Amino acid sequence: MEGCAKVRVAIFTDTFVPQVNGVARTVGRLAEALEARGITSIVLSPDTGLKSGHGYCIYFSPGFNFPFYPECKIAIPNYSDMRRRLDRFKPDLVHLVTEFSMGLCGLRYASMAGIPAVGSYHTNLPQYLSYYGFSFLSHWAWKYLRWFHNRCLINYCPSESSMRLLEGKGIKNLDIWGRGVDNTFFSPEKRRLSFRTRAEVARNGTLLLYVGRLAPEKELDILIGAYCILRKEYRDINLVITGGGPMAAKLMREAPSEVIFTGYLDGEELAAAYASSDIFVFPSTTETYGNVLLEAMSSGLPVVAPNSGGVMENLVHRYNGLACRPHSVGDMAEAVVLLKENPGLRRTLAEQARAHALTRSWDSVFDRLAEGYYGVVSESARKCSVKDDSPEKSFKHRLLEIPEKVK
């Protein structure tokens, strides 16, 4: 993409690899994708323990665990030191991935330096508050998010449903930044008999899989309830739950003894878990996108999930899975029964799930985002040149040299 090599991007995020969540993984992919496209970037994040050796720059700040998400951290940045580092880096654009401590630092820096800022919305935190007994704070959370995002020139959201939600809350300048999947890595070819043996699946049994955080907002009580109904009728149905989080200990105590908890899996182990299962079950109604659904589909699994939120960005009822009513134990159980008792339907949905995932390329996602970056800095440079065409302002001078179109 000619011209983009001159753009320098500072990415502010409160979560980053190797932390295990969708936002951290997406930002890790973003930094790698920008580097591959000749776009120089720096990631500013709480210290996650990531080792050096990456093509992009990293600036870590100390931090403490976020109360709702112990795996994530709230940064305690030294803003003066951060500003000096950024002044040396000379970013042309700031991307505010999250809205908390690091995002606020990025917003302040962009404002003081006079450079454009874009934001992105990844997590339905105001909706999460009700799951933790703080629903009374939802109004104030939206008020803050509206203040934050309406200071960004573009606000990227992952799905049409999240865009509609943000529009309804008065957030402006919205655009879609979708998601992709590595179809070679998440593939039916990763199926392993050894995984099914460890999960104690009968020879012709059915293995259900959940992958995600073990947290209240994921509504795992719906999944466990559905599984209990299924086991009364089908003793050859097994459930594997992959992931970790604040509810892990409680779930392991209260779930039926035959449910297998693997903890966090990554790399080839995670790919094998997907491909070695038969049906992906996902009860959450709070997703902005649902990356794990796309990973499951790419692995050749039909999906059973509620027709709610970002899940519907990929789940097409009776094409690549079955959509059930939100919060319905009975509906989820019935959908699994339909797939178990109709192996032909299950195979068809599995094949079509894989076909759907093959249309979701990370390359096209990041190409579009890079073009969006270029459009923002180019327009900002044009406006600056109208006000002040002094070549002494290096930011403006560099941007004016970029060709008019990204090819």
The pLDDT value given to residue 130: 87
- CA 274 – CA 30 distance, rounded (Å): 24
The pLDDT value given to residue 20: 79
Residue 289: CB atoms within 10 Å: 23
Looking at the structure, tell me whether residues 218 and 242 fall in a common domain: yes
Residue 17: CB atoms within 10 Å: 20
How many domains does the chain contain in total? Answer: 2
CATH no. for residue 317? 3.40.50.2000
- CA 294 – CA 353 distance, rounded (Å): 8
The pLDDT value given to residue 310: 93
If we measure between CA atoms, which residue out of 175, 116, 38 comes closest to residue 382?
Answer: 116
| Token representation of residue 331 | 């509906």
The pLDDT value given to residue 396: 40
Which domain, by its residues, includes 322? 188-357
- CA 177 – CA 365 distance, rounded (Å): 7
The pLDDT value given to residue 351: 98
Looking at the structure, tell me whether residues 123 and 204 fall in a common domain: no
Looking at the structure, tell me whether residues 238 and 302 fall in a common domain: yes
Looking at the structure, tell me whether residues 268 and 391 fall in a common domain: no
The pLDDT value given to residue 132: 86
Looking at the structure, tell me whether residues 353 and 367 fall in a common domain: no
**Contact call for residues 395 and 90 (beta carbons, < 8 A):** yes
Residue 406 inside a domain? The answer is no
Looking at the structure, tell me whether residues 213 and 328 fall in a common domain: yes
By three-state DSSP, how is residue 110 classified? helix
Answer left, alpha or beta for residue 56, where phi above 0 means left and psi between -120 and 50 means alpha.
Answer: beta
Residue 209 dihedral angles phi and psi, to the nearest 5°: -130, 135
The secondary structure of 213-266, three-state, reads: CCCHHHCHHHHHHHHHHHHHHCCCEEEEEECCCCCHHHHHHHCCCCCEEEECCC
The pLDDT value given to residue 378: 87
The pLDDT value given to residue 12: 97
Looking at the structure, tell me whether residues 192 and 246 fall in a common domain: yes
- CA 32 – CA 26 distance, rounded (Å): 10
Residue 297 inside a domain? The answer is yes
| b/e burial code for range 389-398 (CB count within 10 A of at least 16 → b) | eeeeeebbeb
Residue 53 inside a domain? The answer is yes
- CA 25 – CA 29 distance, rounded (Å): 6
| Token representation of residue 167 | 């529009």
Looking at the structure, tell me whether residues 70 and 214 fall in a common domain: no
- CA 71 – CA 5 distance, rounded (Å): 34
Q: Residue 369 pairs with which residues in a beta bridge?
A: none
Looking at the structure, tell me whether residues 365 and 344 fall in a common domain: no
pTM for this entry:
0.89
Looking at the structure, tell me whether residues 290 and 231 fall in a common domain: yes
* Helices vs. strands in the chain: H and E counts, helices first: 15, 15
pLDDT in tens, the chain (407 residues): 444 447 999 999 998 888 878 888 899 999 999 999 989 999 999 988 887 657 789 999 988 877 666 656 788 999 999 999 999 999 999 999 999 899 999 999 999 999 999 999 998 888 888 888 899 999 999 999 999 999 999 999 999 999 999 999 999 999 999 999 999 999 999 999 999 999 989 888 999 999 999 999 999 999 999 999 999 999 999 999 999 999 999 999 999 999 999 999 999 999 999 999 999 999 999 999 999 999 999 999 999 999 999 999 999 999 999 999 999 999 999 999 999 999 999 999 999 999 999 999 899 999 999 999 999 998 888 777 666 555 444 444 443 343 343 33
Residue 124: CB atoms within 10 Å: 18
